[in-house]
């Protein structure tokens, strides 16, 4: 198993880094001394079992959570020292379950993404209009523009939220479990969209996912976390092994090449069978 921060940082630059990052809710420490360099222009996926601190880490990278100690650096400067509005011009973040104001229309919600570029005396510019139009077209929600967000399906709603984050036009985009509550077709749709945005616009993306196979499929850079620490990181093809799955998820599995992409595919060990237990077979 190759565990190396060196490789990825050597191959590219990192605008966003975590240094000795320790995160806690009240007295409960969730993330310990984390070192992370988010590779520019790549899709990084943070993966791990429930409560491993992956969402917490993402929230800290997007200054939604203040570090207990250590720091998150954007272009070498501590996030805590940068005005929040300025951060919003570089980092976009979509929380796990965002809530829209009652009865808001799709176009209105997506337009809120322009907030960090607006002032009270300038509430709408041609630049805003272009960004919103583009974001809605990319996420295929243009036809929904006048609909109320309340009445959309889960998949549509998620695309609208992503459109809002896109309209913000930031180089870095952080997404917290964007596929939760979606059926498999919509999951694939959302992840494809993210990958496409990364490819076409060179945006740096960090996604938190709990599905290891999806992570292995879509990540350029995979970060596996357990109990608030990074267990392994690197290209999925290099780090996803049966040992890693056992270590991180405590699951016996066989890792085979994905028949479509060739990326590692984790097949869990044999399911429960009554014969095996009672010994009848």
Partner 1 sequence: MSTTALDRKADSASAGVRPAGYSLVRTRFGARRVSFLLHRRAAVVAVALLVLLCLTCVAYLSVGESFVAPTEVLKVILGQPSSDELVVGTLRLPRMVVGLLVGAAFGVSGALIQTVARNPLASPDIIGVTQGASALTVFAMTYGVTSFAVLPYLSVAGGMVAAVLVYVFAWRGGLHATRFVLIGIGFAIALRSLTTLFMTKGDYLVAQQAQVWMTGSLNGRGWDEAAPLGWVLLILLPAVAWAAYAQRTVSLDDGTATALGVRLGHIRLGLVLLGVVLASVATGTAGPVDFVALLAPQIARRMTRTAQIPLLCSALLGAVIVVLADLFARKLFAPTELPVGVLTAAIGAPYLIWLIIRSRTAGAGK
Residues lying near partner 1 in the complex (CB under 8 A)? 26, 59, 62-64, 83-89, 91-96, 98-113, 115-116, 120-125, 129-130, 132-134, 136-138, 140, 142, 145-146, 164-165, 168, 189, 193, 196
Q: Which is nearer to partner 1, 3 or 133 (CB)?
A: 133
Q: Which is nearer to partner 1, 113 or 264 (CB)?
A: 113
Least distance in Å: CB of 69 to partner 1? 18
- C-alpha 189/C-alpha 36 separation (Å) is 28
- C-alpha 273/C-alpha 281 separation (Å) is 10
Distance of alpha carbon 199 from the chain centroid: 16
Q: Which is nearer to partner 1, 71 or 118 (CB)?
A: 118
Count of all residues that appear for the chain in the document:
281
- C-alpha 27/C-alpha 79 separation (Å) is 22
Residue owning tokens 């190759």: 2
Phi and psi at residue 96, to the nearest 5°: -60, -50
Least distance in Å: CB of 257 to partner 1? 24
Least distance in Å: CB of 180 to partner 1? 14
Name the token pair of 248.
């991180």
Q: Which is nearer to partner 1, 104 or 255 (CB)?
A: 104
Is residue 212 exposed (0-12), middle (13-18) or buried (19+ Cβ within 10 Å)? Answer: buried
Q: Which is nearer to partner 1, 41 or 95 (CB)?
A: 95
Least distance in Å: CB of 30 to partner 1? 14
Say if residues 128 and 145 touch (Cβ distance below 8 Å): no
Q: Which is nearer to partner 1, 126 or 277 (CB)?
A: 126
Least distance in Å: CB of 96 to partner 1? 8
DSSP state of 269: P
Least distance in Å: CB of 149 to partner 1? 9
Summarize the chain as % helix, strand, coil (round to 5): 40, 25, 35
């Amino acid at each position: 198993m190759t565990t190396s921060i060196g490789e990825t940082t050597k191959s590219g630059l990192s605008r966003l880094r975590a240094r000795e990052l320790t995160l806690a809710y009240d007295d409960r420490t969730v993330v310990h001394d984390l070192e992370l360099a988010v590779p520019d222009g790549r899709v990084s996926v943070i993966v791990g079992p429930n409560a491993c601190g992956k969402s917490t880490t993402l929230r800290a990278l997007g200054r939604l959570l203040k570090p207990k100690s250590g720091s998150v650096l954007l272009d070498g400067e501590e996030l805590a020292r940068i005005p929040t509005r300025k951060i919003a011009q570089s980092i976009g973040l979509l929380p796990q379950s965002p809530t829209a104001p009652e009865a808001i229309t799709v176009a209105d919600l997506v337009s809120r993404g322009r907030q960090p570029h607006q002032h009270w005396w300038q509430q709408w510019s041609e630049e805003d209009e272009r960004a919103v139009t583009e974001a809605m077209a990319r996420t295929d929600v243009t036809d929904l523009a006048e609909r109320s967000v309340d009445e959309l399906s889960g998949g549509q709603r998620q695309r609208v939220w992503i459109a809002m984050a896109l309209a913000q036009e930031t180089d870095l985009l952080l997404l917290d479990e964007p596929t939760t509550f979606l059926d498999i077709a919509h999951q694939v749709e959302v992840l494809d969209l993210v990958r496409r945005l990364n490819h076409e616009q060179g945006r740096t993306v960090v996604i938190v996912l709990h599905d290891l196979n999806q992570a292995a499929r879509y990540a350029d850079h995979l970060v596996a976390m357990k109990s608030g620490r990074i267990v392994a990181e690197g290209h999925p093809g290099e780090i996803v092994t049966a040992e890693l799955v056992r270590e991180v998820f405590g699951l016996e599995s066989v890792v085979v090449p994905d028949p479509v992409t060739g990326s590692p595919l984790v097949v869990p060990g044999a399911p429960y069978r009554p014969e095996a237990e009672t010994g009848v077979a």
